[in-house]
Amino acid sequence: MDLHGFNQYQAKVLIDSRLRSFKGYRIRLIHGYRNGDALREMIRKTYRSHPKILRIELGLNPGETDLVLKEY
């Protein structure tokens, strides 16, 4: 999911909506990093203890975060 241009509230609403209906293994969130880290920090703090998420994986690209929902 590309979250560029979203504020924290808009991003959270979209992520929560996707988590309710998603049936896959992981969700890759593309939040960027050059214009600040507010989205990245909100995602990593808010979803670290979410009941549907097994773990959060940080990518090699600092502008991406993966929410792992199931193991392969």
pLDDT digits (tens, 9 = 90+) for 24-47: 999 999 998 887 789 999 999 999
- What's the confidence (pLDDT) of residue 72? 77
Mean predicted confidence (pLDDT) in 13-21: 95
Confidence band for 55, pLDDT divided at 50, 70 and 90:
very high
| Residue 47: other Cβ atoms inside 10 A | 19
Judged by DSSP in three states, 3 sits in coil
Q: What is the DSSP string of 5-69?
A: T--HHHHHHHHHHHHHH--SSEEEEE--STT-SHHHHHHHHHSTT-TT-SEEEE-SSTTEEEEE-
Q: Both tokens of residue 20? A: 């309710």
- What's the confidence (pLDDT) of residue 36? 78
Is the pLDDT at 50 greater than 90? The verdict is yes
